[in-house]
Structure 1
Amino acid sequence: MTRFSRFALLPLLAAVALPAVPAAAQPPAALNTEEIDRPAYPQVLSMRERAEVRDGWLKERLDTVVAPLMRENGVDMWVLIARENFEDPVVQTMLDAKSMHARRRTILVFFDPGAGKPIERLTVSRYGLADFFKAAWEPEKEPDQFKRLAQIIAERNPKKIAINASSLTAYADGMTLSQYEDMTAAMTPELRSRIVRTDNLAVGWLETRIPAEMERYPEIVRLAHAMIAEALSEKVITPGVTTTDDVVWWLRDKIAEMRVRTWFQPSVSVMRQGASGRLGGNTVIQKGDMLWTDFGITYLGLNTDTQHLGYVLRDGESDVPAGLKAGRLANNRVQDALTSSFRVGDSGNTVLARARAKAIAQGLQPSIYSHPIGYHGHAAGASIGFWDNQNADPRGEYRLRPNTAWSIELSATAAVPEWGGQLVTFPSEEDAFFDGKVVRYIDGRQSGFHLVRPNP
């Protein structure tokens, strides 16, 4: 989602440690593959099928992601506490498909006994949590939930007890003050002294994508692409009649029809010869307009975030003017400068500086403002630039890790001869996967335009 909108990117993590993670499969799309024009809609699963898929993913994630994160960070216990309808962002992603919210209070405990033994997973809660966490509280024996938590901690005698509390990122700030106070009040002073605040566990869990997720992510992105392609076509747009807001609300209706959700209000606007910037709201779409949309969906617990361009053919035109095509391709070259600059262990700021230097050396006018995507639209992980800050930023100090998904969001500005040399900004946003070596687009990338063809 564009940072030109009113939605602000949540502060992201600035950290140093790079937890080891299991290898993830690459999505099927090859590097820089062009998107299919007007793709068919993929089949959307039933709610029961979705639950089965998501619970399968959760089991694999709990079995393969948590242990490497804890061991890399030298933590042998991780405690997460959430209250109903006020969930820790991490706990929200650890609930099984039938547990949509924490029940009253949900306490999750991960404990590493060492010696290569499996991580112990406990739920200190009145209600169970499927088969993913072992129930560890009987209220009839110990009515006080926090006293029971303190007993569990004391019995296992961990060296470091990690909690999610951070001033840097909302994704690692799920331990509220009251829950912290109640937890620590039940603990001995010695155990309290072992509590550590770490960002790496929460962010590492949220940003890591597993092979099974990446096998299905392409169809999630394809679903979003199919909606955009239909929206930016003569099926929806009648030049001289349809407004940009009409297209926005068509997209909202389509989302409901497809039984998925969106995580932000879609944006649709036009860039027009002789007009400054983007025209939206009740602007009537005309022939010769360049269309822009910013659109995302949430499906199977994963998010998409896409910005595409379209063009409304004038009478007698069969293709987009050459100047607009050149601007679109300039954008692709900025994309290449960025995706070729990803390095595991480098900060977002370092990647930004490297990518901008490559693009500027080619005579391009880039603006780069990319972010992770996955469980959230503006997701946990490194920030690579902001539309209003192309220099180093504290939010860009978090270091890149492998097996992470990204929204490659940026723009290039170029003069369009057919529009009298008018400077036009060509924005784009495509979802991609970084396997630790290369960045691949999950369902290809746009290099042309969606065409609105005149109806006969």
Structure 2
Amino acid sequence: MKYGILFYITLSFSLASWAQQPAVLSQRDQAEIIDQWLEERIDQVLPKLMTETGIDLWIVMSREYNEDPVIRTLLPATWHAARRRTILVMYQPAPNQPVETYAIARYDVGKSFKKAWNPEAQPDQWEALIQLVQSKNPKKIGLNFAMDYGHADGLTHTDFSLFTEKLPENLKSRVVSAQTLAVRWLETRTPSEMATYRHIQELAHYIIAQGLSSEVITPGVTSTDDVVWFYREKIKEMKLDTWFHPTVDIQRPDPASQEANRSFAVRPGDEIIMPGDLLHIDFGITYLRLNTDTQELAYVLKPGETEVPAFLNDALQVGNRLQDILTSNYIQGKSGNEILKASRQQMEKEGIRGSIYTHPLGFYGHSAGPTIGMWDNQGNTPGAGDFPLHANTGYAIELNAVVFVKEWNKDVRIMLEEGAFFDGQKVTYYNGRQRRILPIPRSSFYLGN
């Protein structure tokens, strides 16, 4: 009896641990962390990047509700948008020196950007900006216009025209694209951010696991759209945000089911979830201005089954192997196109069918940095695919392996995606990766005959 009680207590503790919701900070505490991180980034990251790119004066400007993607990462947490026309100026007096920050605005922009315009003394905001630029006499004036990244192309035609019209002739030749600086700013993670990213990914894993469980799914009743909307409600309930609408789709042995061949350009239809279905979720959250992008698999047990069929977990292992191939080719300085090419060569050598479409992850879900394949292009991606891999950057390791499952007499597409960090030497998943398909329901005393 004592052993039975001990087993029951152990099992109860295990189930309680699985069900424990990771902590989410209050809105006020989140704002404090976001602003603290912004100060750290300006102090620790920005000087290195401005020196690296050779831009000693960087201007980021936006009008209200038409925000540059970069300015969104520079505003304080309590600002949900630019105000009127917000102009931020960052100046580095010499390489590797601290960066001076200014706001050509009617008020301070958070703690980091102090007001540098007195409208009573100089009513023209553009003249105030030009006076500051002239006083610094920069070698290069970086503006956010770019060919390869929308994230770095946030300067509007109107603001570019108004600025360059006012800029003295002797300074116009110093205007350059800040594309590389903007991308490096967006992709580079700090120690503080990385220390928290595991927890952010843990939140995503927790929500995914809850949705792909008997707590939400009743076979024969629950539809894939029901699960999708559970996720949307859960995100709001936990005071989180999302950057895209989730997807839940089904693969099943039925010959009429052709999910493995569906183009990603077509959203899957709503279907009733049944025993024997292999479910796939694509899901992301936003917390503390950082994003996750995760895809996992679950299987609905049929009557008499107590675990996921071995042949499906074997198929998952092929997907895991493809992840290993990809991450083994993460070499600092290599371009996204080079990483993709080397990975595909190894795939072909090992006889793995599938696709790689991995992307940077951070301030944006599809963020700036080296693109490593696209779902509709397994060759070179000009521009974004040519960008080199840097240390201290994050990625969504996204791909699929196509595996013929003889028990179903058809191909099954193992679609996986997990957040990970590259430290310059190796890739580490933020909160691990899926190594076994989730069973629905989870193990209990009552499964089986």
Whether these two folds match at TM > 0.5 is yes
- Given candidates 165, 168, 176, the residue that maps to 2:156 is 176
Matched, 1:306 2:256: no
Using the TM superposition, give the Cα deviation of residue 450 of structure 1 relative to its aligned residue in structure 2, in angstroms.
1.3
Distance 1:361 1:168 in 2: 32
* 1:227-238 correspondence runs (5 A): 227-238=207-218
Matched, 1:353 2:341: yes
Using the TM superposition, give the Cα deviation of residue 198 of structure 1 relative to its aligned residue in structure 2, in angstroms.
2.8
Contact 1:243 1:281 in 2 (8 A): no
* 1:14-413 correspondence runs (5 A): 38=18, 40-114=20-94, 116-273=96-253, 274=255, 275-277=257-259, 280-394=268-382, 395-413=384-402
Cα distance per residue 1:351-402 (max 9 Å; x no partner): 0011112222222113100001110000011110011111112131111111
Aligned to 2:8: none
**Which residue type is aligned with residue 289 of structure 1?**
D
Using the TM superposition, give the Cα deviation of residue 37 of structure 1 relative to its aligned residue in structure 2, in angstroms.
9.7
Contact 1:368 1:386 in 2 (8 A): yes
**Which residue type is aligned with residue 88 of structure 1?**
D
Contact 1:206 1:375 in 2 (8 A): yes
Matched, 1:430 2:412: no
Cα 1:414/1:138, change in 2 over 3 Å: same
Cα distance per residue 1:68-99 (max 9 Å; x no partner): 11111111111111111111111110011122
Q: Percent identity?
A: 46
Cα 1:39/1:368, change in 2 over 3 Å: farther
Cα distance per residue 1:98-152 (max 9 Å; x no partner): 2221111111111111165421111111121122012210000000000011111
Query: Aligned Cα RMSD in Å?
Result: 1.6
Distance 2:307 2:45 in 1: 48
Give the number of aligned pairs: 420
Q: What secondary structure sits across from 2:59 in the alignment?
A: strand
**CA radius of gyration, larger in:** 2
Q: What secondary structure sits across from 1:107 in the alignment?
A: strand
Greater relative contact order structure (CA < 8 Å, 6+ sep):
1
Cα distance per residue 1:208-231 (max 9 Å; x no partner): 010000111111111111111011
- Given candidates 425, 431, 437, the residue that maps to 1:443 is 431
Query: Which structure has greater helix proportion?
Result: 2
Aligned to 2:13: none
Q: What secondary structure sits across from 1:87 in the alignment?
A: coil
**Which residue type is aligned with residue 212 of structure 1?**
S
Distance 2:19 2:57 in 1: 47
* TM norm structure 2: 0.91
Q: What secondary structure sits across from 2:373 in the alignment?
A: coil
Distance 1:114 1:426 in 2: 51
Contact 2:360 2:366 in 1 (8 A): yes
Contact 1:360 1:366 in 2 (8 A): no
Contact 1:333 1:359 in 2 (8 A): no
